Amino acid sequence: MSTVAAERAAKKAAKPATMAQALGRALRDSLAEDPAVHVLGEDVGALGGVFRVTDGLTKEFGEDRCTDTPLAEAGILGTAVGMAMYGLRPVVEMQFDAFAYPAFEQLISHVARMRNRTRGAMPLPITVRVPYGGGIGGVEHHSDSSEAYYMATPGLHVVTPATVADAYGLLRASIASDDPVVFLEPKRLYWSKADWNPDAPQSVEPIGKAVVRRTGRSATLLTYGPSVPVCMEAAEAAVAEGWDLEVVDLRSLVPFDDETVAASVRRTGRAVVVHESGGFGGPGGEIAARVTERCFHHLEAPVLRVAGFDIPYPPPMLERHHLPGVDRILDAVARLQWEADS
């Protein structure tokens, strides 16, 4: 079958799927392909996870492959370290972003550096799934954006999907990676849908590559995870203002794709970093600095950040004021000193 015909056939077989379903399918396919893969966490068994990502896995693969653990995040990740030391590939679920904090010591002191401290003799292929971010009306401790903590730790990969296809492809790649990956799942995109064919190979870029989701000439929106759809919406709305915005989905915060990002900003000459987590000490500061170092002579304006406020995550009835929305993004684009443009 020709490539074109194959693509057409794949498209025909595609059906609407949610991101949660694609993630579940990625776990299922990984479990089926590699007996070393084990899923563990609180409620991942009979319940199928509180977001149903692990639905049916215990039934299909048995309790030894998809294991309901005691309620203890340090214990879940700590035992996963031992399992990986013995040659398994554990995929652990931290039920919510703020519930992952008890496991921080294991993550920072052991998961991130076991390869390094053993001079490469003992890599730990562990995937840590962390549902993160706001927008679902969660009560306190259910909506943190903790990506900066993970980014600051050498030895970890930090990735986050924004599309259904990427949810599948990036999770498969994370599980296959010989390095530990913190896999950040944007909670409010769990129910986002796209036409997707689980049986056809997914054409997704590898971990470490950013992807241009929308091409434009006026300015670049640099974003990831839950803010990608918001930026796409902002870019559509910007057309009415006469701005043609490019949207870059970073996909991977560590390693960071300086090349794709710099190439885009050099083309457009202007950049806004958009994310939900707080701006101070947040990912945006690092990204803006990297862009400035590489693109200073191409920049028509300072790199701006549109971030969440520097406050503890707000209660559900107020979170819409905290999360960067279309208007706040367009306001930032407006501040990119358009008068300087000839």
- Our CA angle for 287, 250, 111, nearest 5°, is 85
Residue 134 Cβ vs another protein, minimum distance, rounded to whole Å: 28
For the purposes of burial, counting CB atoms within 10 Å of the CB of 5, is it exposed (0-12), middle (13-18) or buried (19 or more)? exposed
Q: Is 289 in the site for another protein (CB under 8 A)?
A: no
Structure tokens at 8: 């057409």
Is 142 part of the annotated catalytic residue set? yes
Name the catalytic one among 38, 110, 142, 275: 142
Q: Is 312 in the site for another protein (CB under 8 A)?
A: no
Stretch that binds another protein, among 9-17, 102-110, 305-313, 333-341 (CB under 8 A): 102-110
57, 88, 91, 136: which one binds another protein (CB under 8 A) = 88
- Helix H or strand E segment including 93: strand 89-93
Residue 86 Cβ vs another protein, minimum distance, rounded to whole Å: 4
Per the CB < 8 A criterion, the answer to whether 218 and 270 are in contact is yes
22, 27, 31, 84: which one binds another protein (CB under 8 A) = 84
What binding mask, one character per residue, do residues 154-193 give for another protein by CB under 8 A, x or -?
xx-x-------------------xxx--------------
Q: Taking the mean position of all CA atoms in its chain, how far away is CA 121?
A: 29
Residue 108 Cβ vs another protein, minimum distance, rounded to whole Å: 10
Per the CB < 8 A criterion, the answer to whether 321 and 314 are in contact is yes
Q: In the 8-state DSSP scheme, what is residue 109?
A: I
Q: Phi, psi (5° rounding) for residue 68?
A: -75, 120
Task: For another protein, give the closer residue by CB, 208 or 325.
Answer: 208
Residues 52 and 187: their CA atoms lie apart, in Å, by: 12
- Helix H or strand E segment including 57: helix 57-61
Q: Is 123 in the site for another protein (CB under 8 A)?
A: yes
Q: Phi, psi (5° rounding) for residue 141?
A: 70, 15
Interactions with another protein, residue window 244-263 (CB under 8 A): 254-256, 258-259
Q: Name the site residues for another protein (rule: CB under 8 A).
A: 38, 64, 69-70, 72, 74-75, 77-88, 90, 102, 105-106, 109-110, 113-123, 154-155, 157, 177-179, 208, 254-256, 258-259
